[in-house]
Amino acid sequence: MNFKDQSVAIVDYGIGNIHSVFQALLECGAKNVVISSDPDVINQCSHLIVPGVGSFQAGMLGLEKNHLIEPIKLFASSGKPLLGICLGAQMLLSESEEFGLHAGLNLIEGKVIHIPKCKELSYRVPLIGWVDMQITCNDPILAGMNAEESFYFVHSLHCMPLAAESQLLAYKAGEHNITALISKDNIYGAQFHPEKSSASGLRFLTNFLSL
């Protein structure tokens, strides 16, 4: 694939493994990728990625300190494709209960909640590992994926969007449904790390670039 017309911005707010995302996008054929905290760059790009690892509060604080909250919201309202990854996906929601209640970007209504711990330890939190996912939904970001795809997750909280249709993919931990992918219009949030999910992750990012 050759995405020479796309200009991708990866939001840099001080935390996160941004270079992995950068490399993965290049691998997918993206030609114009920048890591940036400049509101103008964010405004002008065709595809925006909000990466992130770490705590919700630290993430939101990072966005705030770098004056990125308004530019991201503005971008979201433009209708151009936006992808949040892991913490970046969680920050798209209204609020999170990690270390107390904290407000998010509120681009998708809902809350980030703790994955319940399992007393019998049939699973352990944080959930770390690869999940084989049977893709059944028709969203363009999952185009061409129908066989088993495998994605890498590492998280202790997950997204609970208010609207059920915002949950595109989920997997099971014990009796719990754990959200894997959310969306609303042009906005996507992947709880998994596509940049670390080998071939499936690269297919996912390629689909994002094709939006």
Catalytic residues: 86, 193, 195
Q: How many CA atoms lie within 13 A of 164 on its CB side?
A: 1
Q: At a CB cut-off of 8 Å and minimum separation 6, what does 50 contact?
A: 11, 72, 82, 83, 84, 85, 88, 89, 91, 92
- Does residue number 152 form part of the binding site for other proteins (CB under 8 A)? yes
Within 10 A of 149 (CB to CB), how many other CB atoms are there? 22
- Does residue number 79 form part of the binding site for other proteins (CB under 8 A)? no
For 2, the 3-state DSSP assignment is coil
- Does residue number 173 form part of the binding site for other proteins (CB under 8 A)? yes
Among 13, 171, 204, 208, binds other proteins (CB under 8 A): 171
Rg (CA), the chain: 16
Least distance from C-beta 194 to other proteins, angstroms?
Answer: 9
- Does residue number 29 form part of the binding site for other proteins (CB under 8 A)? no
Least distance from C-beta 101 to other proteins, angstroms?
Answer: 17
What DSSP element (H or E) covers 129?
Answer: strand 127-134
Least distance from C-beta 110 to other proteins, angstroms?
Answer: 20
Among 110, 196, 204, 209, binds other proteins (CB under 8 A): 196
Interacting span for other proteins (CB under 8 A) from 60-68, 100-108, 165-173, 181-189: 165-173
| Contact in structure between 113 and 157 (CB atoms under 8 Å) | yes
Least distance from C-beta 117 to other proteins, angstroms?
Answer: 6
Q: At a CB cut-off of 8 Å and minimum separation 6, what does 116 contact?
A: 174, 176
Q: Pairing mode, if any, of strands 47-50 and 3-11?
A: parallel
- Binders of other proteins among residues 97 to 136 (CB under 8 A) are 117, 120-132
Binding mask 174-193 for other proteins (x = CB under 8 A): xx-----------------x
Residues that bind other proteins (CB under 8 A): 15-20, 23-24, 27, 53-55, 58, 87, 117, 120-132, 152-156, 171-175, 193, 195-198, 201-202
